[in-house]
Amino acid sequence: MTGRHLLKRSFTLAGHRTSVALEAPFWTALERLAQADGLTLSALVQRIDAGRAEPDLPLASALRVEALRRCQA
């Protein structure tokens, strides 16, 4: 898979700007989860970032894992 399949979005996390590139279906799943939780997408990303059990896990991976985990629940 090449970068052309990824959509990049920018967020402010812990006071600094960062960009995350994910496949469109993951962004759609995360947007739906945010809506279900009554959060903005940015707030959901901040929550997932702050709750990472493995700080070395890339944010993109943490977002994918959370989307998968929640969709399977």
Fold exhibited by the domain 3-72: Ribbon-helix-helix fold (1.10.3990)
Dmax over CA atoms of the chain, in Å, equals 33
DSSP strand pairing (6-13 vs 16-23): antiparallel
Whether the full predicted model's pTM is greater than 0.85, yes or no, is yes
pLDDT in tens, 28-49: 999 999 999 999 999 999 999 9
- Write down the H helix ranges in 1-73: 24-36, 41-50, 59-72
Instruction: Give the pLDDT band (50/70/90) at residue 3.
Output: low
Separation of alpha carbons 62 and 49, rounded Å: 8
Domain boundaries, the chain: 3-72
- Examine the pLDDT at 1 and tell me if it is beyond 50: no
Which residues face 60 on adjacent strands?
A: none
Phi, psi values for residue 71, rounded to 5°:
-70, -25
